[in-house]
Amino acid sequence: MTTSTSRVAIVTGGSGGIGRASALRLAADGTAVVVHYAGNRDRALETVRDIETAGGRAIAVGGDVADEREMLSLFDAAEEAFGGIDVLVHTAGIMPLAPIAELDLETFDRVQRTNVRGTFVVDQLAARRLRAGGAIVNFSTSVTRLQIPGYGAYAASKGAVEAITLILARELRGRDITVNAVAPGPTATPLFFEGKSQEQIDGIAASNPMTRLGTPQDIAETVAFLAGPGRWVNGQVLYVNGGAA
C-alpha cells in the first residue's frame, strides 16, 4: 500500500557501519528510510526496528547493487511503500586490501563491479526517479588523497565514483537535484577493522589531528546535511576525515 510522506531516502548498505548510522540519522530528521542490505537481512531488520521504535518509518529491502534488475526492485519498493523517492545515500561497497603487485585480478574485478558498476546502477535509477529537491550522496574515500599502500584497487574504484558524481551533478542541470560524494577518512567500522592489528589501528588513530578514528555518526552528520539543508553544495567531494592530510 502506498503511503505518502514528506521525504523518502534509500540508504544502500544500511544494515551496518556508516549506512546504518546514516539511516538512523535521516530517520531522526523525519525522513522515511528504505534500508538496503546485500547479505545481512537480520541487521537491516534491526535497523528498521530501531527507527520504528524511535517513531520513524522504515522498510528493509535486499539486493545486489550491481544488478540493475534487483536495484529496480529496490526503487519500486521505495515508491510503493512511501509514494516517491527524494534521497539516495549510496554507502554500499567492498574493500579487499593487497599491494597492486599481489592482488589477483578476480578480486580487482569484484571491487570494480560492486563499487563502480554498483554506483553507476543506483545513480542511474536515482537520476531517473528522484523528485525535485532531491539529493544523491555517493561515497568515495580520503585514500584517494592519502595514497595508502594496499588500497590500490579500492582507491581506483572510488576515483571512478568521484568522476561519476561530478559528471552526474552537471547532467542533472535544471532538475533541482544535488549530487555529491562524501570521502571519509579512517572510520571505526567493521570494514575498516578487518585485517588490521590493534597496533595498526592505534597508529592510524594517533596520526589524525583529532587523535582518534572517525565514527559512523561523524559521517552521518555530513550525510544528513547533504540530504537535507545543504542545497547549495552540489558537484563536490567532501573530505570528512578529522583533518587527515
- Taking only the tens place, the pLDDT of each residue in 23-82 is 999 999 999 999 999 999 999 999 999 999 999 999 999 999 999 999 999 999 999 999
Q: What is the pTM of this model?
A: 0.95
- Fold classification of 8-240 (topology level): Rossmann fold (3.40.50)
CA 220 to each of CA 19, 20, 180, 227: distance values in angstroms, whole numbers, following the listed order: 8, 9, 14, 10
Active site residues per annotation? 154
CB 223 within 8 A of CB 189: no
* 193 — pLDDT class (breaks 50, 70, 90): confident
pLDDT tens string 103-135: 999 999 999 999 999 999 999 999 999 999 999
CA dist 89 and 14 (Å) reads 9
Tell me the C-alpha to C-alpha distance, in Å, between residue 243 and each of 162, 164, 195, 210: 20, 25, 24, 7
